[in-house]
Structure 1
Amino acid sequence: MSSTTTPEASSTTRRAGALQGILLLAGSCMPVLGSVLITPVLPQLSEHFAGVPGAEVLVPMIVAIPALVIAIFAPFAGQIVDRLGRKTLLIITMFAYALAGTAPAWLEDLNAILFSRVLVGVCEAAIMTVCTTLIVDYFHEPKRRNKYLGLQTVTTTLAATVFIALGGALGVSGWHTPFWVYAISIAIAVPMIFALWEPKGDPTDTHVAQGVKVRTPWRRIWVRLLVSVFGGFSFYVLIIEASYLVVGTGVAATDTGIIGAVAAVASLATAIGGISFTRMGKLPHSVLLPLAFGLQAVGMLVIWFVPGLVGIIVGAIIASYGSGLLLPSLLTWVVAPTAFEERGRVTGWWTAAFYLGQFLTPILMGILGGVTGALAIGVGVVGVAAAIVGLAVGAALRARSRASVEA
């Protein structure tokens, strides 16, 4: 696709700073809020709706549905972003998110709650797509862009830990109470109205040539999206399975202190990996992606071959550090090279791919655990797959780089 700089892009544009970065990072935490806040009250929900047919499946879907909806609707959000603009969609969905998210605080019907969670997922698809697109739009310099994309991983990872603790604390008052936390999106949306603006481009940005119809650049991104689906899967394996691995070593399921400590250490390692990207982001993706997948592989293989709690802790730290490095590496690989007018839809498809991987994680791990006969072996198999994907991506990127140099 040919590209050039449009007159709009040549005009003077506003320069984003820390305030815009903070607001976009805060907005990026909303999908995390949707997926983890209410996990501590799932037992209460299961008990409350025990008499509803199919409750044993429907109650866990309260957590799982938003991720699936994000995977389905993010591409549509990307289309809207490119055609109608970024800021308006973000503000509308931030307010809608508060309404849909708090609805279960006063609902009593399980089907109505599930419908509200579908709406939450639709809002999250738009919020995540726009926030990521605006980070790339606002911060053109590679160093600043990598900094905020790395911080996006750090912020969302740490937010997950905070939201789980907050949901557990509020759940003491009943399962309705944690849902009121979704209203926090209003407190973020109000300053967004005044601090954010609709970007028009920048002389350093690329643009689709005048008169050229904007299309999704499938030939350039389809392989990257497939890798991102696997990346979303490998990223969430230990987030979902860590507690079961710990219990599998003989730790009692009621010993939430040890289970929570392992999860917190892994979460911290993910955040450190994201921070590392702010410095390592200048490395080529032919190095970053194999390194990130390789660290995931090493950590998961440690969990497989080193028995006991020590193996799980060490393996989780190594793999989670790789996951923290992987997320922004994938994002910049797919989104950063795109032209301004196609960026929203590409970001939408990347978001869909990553969250599809997240949604598939418990399904695929259930199959792997059943086939291999042990969860730790299933995790190790994922590690082998991560190593293969990392090596294949690295080899393909290096071959492409050599071909472009020779040409």
Structure 2
Amino acid sequence: MANTSVQTEPGTRRPGVLQAVLLLAGSCMPVLGSVLLTPILPQLSAEFGGAPGGEILVPMVVAIPALMIALFAPFAGQIVDRLGRKKLLIIAMFAYTLVGIAPAFLDTLPAILATRVGVGITEAAIMTVCTTLIVDYWHEPERRAKYLGLQTIVTTLAATAFIAIGGAAGAAGWRTPFWIYLAAAIIAVPMIFLLWEPNKADPTDSHARAPKVPIPWRRIAMPLIVGLFGGFTFYVLVIEASYLLVDAGVAPTDTPTIGGIAALASLATAAGGFTFTRIAKVGVNRILPVAFALQAVGMLIIWFVGGVPGVAVGAIVGGAGSGLLLPSMLTWAVGSTRFEERGRVTGLWTAAFFFGQFLTPIIMGAITAAVGSLPVAVGVVGIACAVAAILLGFGLRKSNMAPAEEVTATV
């Protein structure tokens, strides 16, 4: 792969390292929004927990962007398909910085939640466009699967760094981590000069000459349902790990410890994503059940072992499953899409996945109230993951989903 984009003939460009770096870096922004603040959730609970509805609203500081992504990603997909990719991405990156750092200056929970709505809306555009451009720029099935796998690896490695940075910054106060959102503006500047808008005259996309087509609902219905459930299970340990550790005896102000354990789990997620790039040729129909099974094992370890060691080991095992899960679901959903439907399908899948994330604190709160303990609630979700693994293992074996040539990754 070349070090930059290559002009092969008039109107034709080939993506290179710089384009890959920028799109993968942009893909990290929604991850930044979801994990950066998890180490300071106990501090936010101490600061705002006494406010009306504080027990539910404080976790929403992390979760509400996911709702906005779920609501607005389909619209971002419509804009991507109709009006283009690049302009939307640049505007969203700069807007993301402004709403991201705003809570550093705010003193009330409703005002902070309002800015988090803005974070989610801009994240919807960023995630949809970055994923769509990855599929646009690398249209060969092998490279497409490779870069979708790399997207998971890079974003989870970034999540590891963001969790650790958020934990370290949180030691200086809960406001400090919000300044890290300035990273989006820094990344946006080279995007202006190094990314380009794909068009139907560009032969680097083999699907570009097809007429406009409707959304393939029958083909994507099951990937959307699994994406919704997978978004929920993916986020359970992300949002609950700090509370599980506090329940196990870690001080709420010990953000380096909380962030460190969360970072180890995130590294395991990155390892799972890297594993996907090596085994994608096996087929999504085999990888998806394994991913849910690993999540189940991790959550059941948290339930039955308990304590700080149980939470740490369970989060690592579950994180490895999440690393396999995300690129598998995404490849299944968008790997065989055509140019004219790609933005909309990507937006719909992104909406399903992040709506599952938004539902996480609500569902976990209801399960915890029903069973009386957060570790037991996590175990219940683990049982659900085990059931999903079994159903997918039998169901997808007999289906025609995601043929091997669509997901092959040769790295």
Change (3 A) 1:241 1:99: closer
Q: Which residue of 2 aligns with 1:281?
A: 280
Give the SS at the match of 1:401.
coil
Cα deviation digits, residues 274-299 of structure 1 (max 9, x gap)? 11111111221111111211222222
Change (3 A) 1:138 1:178: same
Residues paired across the two proteins, number: 392
Residue 185 of structure 1: CA displacement? 1.2
Q: Which residue of 1 aligns with 2:4?
A: none
> Is 1:361 the equivalent of 2:355?
no
Contact 1:286 1:395 in 2 (8 A): no
Q: Which residue of 2 aligns with 1:392?
A: 391
Contact 1:146 1:277 in 2 (8 A): no
Give the SS at the match of 1:14.
strand
Once the two structures are superposed, the pairs formed by residues 7-406 of structure 1 within 5 Å of their partners are 13-42=12-41, 57-108=56-107, 110-171=109-170, 174-200=173-199, 202=203, 205-206=206-207, 209-210=210-211, 213-251=212-250, 253=252, 256=255, 258-401=257-400
Contact 1:208 1:214 in 2 (8 A): no
Q: Within 2, Cα distance between the matches of 1:261 and 1:173?
A: 16
Give the SS at the match of 2:281.
coil
Q: Within 2, Cα distance between the matches of 1:204 and 1:375?
A: 48
Residue 128 of structure 1: CA displacement? 0.5
- Which moved further from structure 2: 195-204 or 380-389? 195-204
Give the SS at the match of 1:216.
coil
Give the SS at the match of 1:205.
coil
Q: Which residue of 2 aligns with 1:6?
A: none
Q: Within 2, Cα distance between the matches of 1:120 and 1:393?
A: 34
Give the SS at the match of 1:337.
coil
Change (3 A) 1:144 1:60: same
Q: Within 2, Cα distance between the matches of 1:245 and 1:59?
A: 16
Residue 362 of structure 1: CA displacement? 1.7
Give the aligned residue type for 1:18: V
Q: TM-score, normalised by structure 1?
A: 0.86
Change (3 A) 1:372 1:76: same
Change (3 A) 1:75 1:252: same
Contact 1:297 1:382 in 2 (8 A): yes
Q: Within 1, Cα distance between the matches of 2:275 and 2:143?
A: 14
Contact 2:215 2:344 in 1 (8 A): yes
Q: Within 1, Cα distance between the matches of 2:170 and 2:249?
A: 27
Cα deviation digits, residues 287-319 of structure 1 (max 9, x gap)? 111121122222223333345544433333222
Q: Within 1, Cα distance between the matches of 2:111 and 2:243?
A: 31
Q: Within 2, Cα distance between the matches of 1:30 and 1:302?
A: 31
Change (3 A) 1:191 1:247: same
- Which moved further from structure 2: 320-329 or 215-224? 215-224
Cα deviation digits, residues 208-237 of structure 1 (max 9, x gap)? 743xx4322111111210111111111112
Residue 59 of structure 1: CA displacement? 4.4
Structure 2: segments with no counterpart, 5+ residues: 1-8, 404-411
Identity among equivalent positions (%) equals 65
Contact 2:64 2:116 in 1 (8 A): yes
Structure 1: segments with no counterpart, 5+ residues: 1-9
Change (3 A) 1:218 1:208: farther
Change (3 A) 1:231 1:45: closer
Give the SS at the match of 1:342.
helix
Cα deviation digits, residues 144-201 of structure 1 (max 9, x gap)? 2222222222222222232233334444555444333222211111111111111235
Change (3 A) 1:344 1:179: same
Q: Which protein shows a greater Rg?
A: 1
Residue 55 of structure 1: CA displacement? 5.2
Give the aligned residue type for 1:224: P
Contact 1:67 1:355 in 2 (8 A): yes
Change (3 A) 1:295 1:208: farther
Q: Within 1, Cα distance between the matches of 2:223 and 2:30?
A: 22
Q: Within 2, Cα distance between the matches of 1:115 and 1:378?
A: 29
Q: Which residue of 2 aligns with 1:7?
A: none
Q: Within 1, Cα distance between the matches of 2:60 and 2:45?
A: 11
Residue 82 of structure 1: CA displacement? 0.5
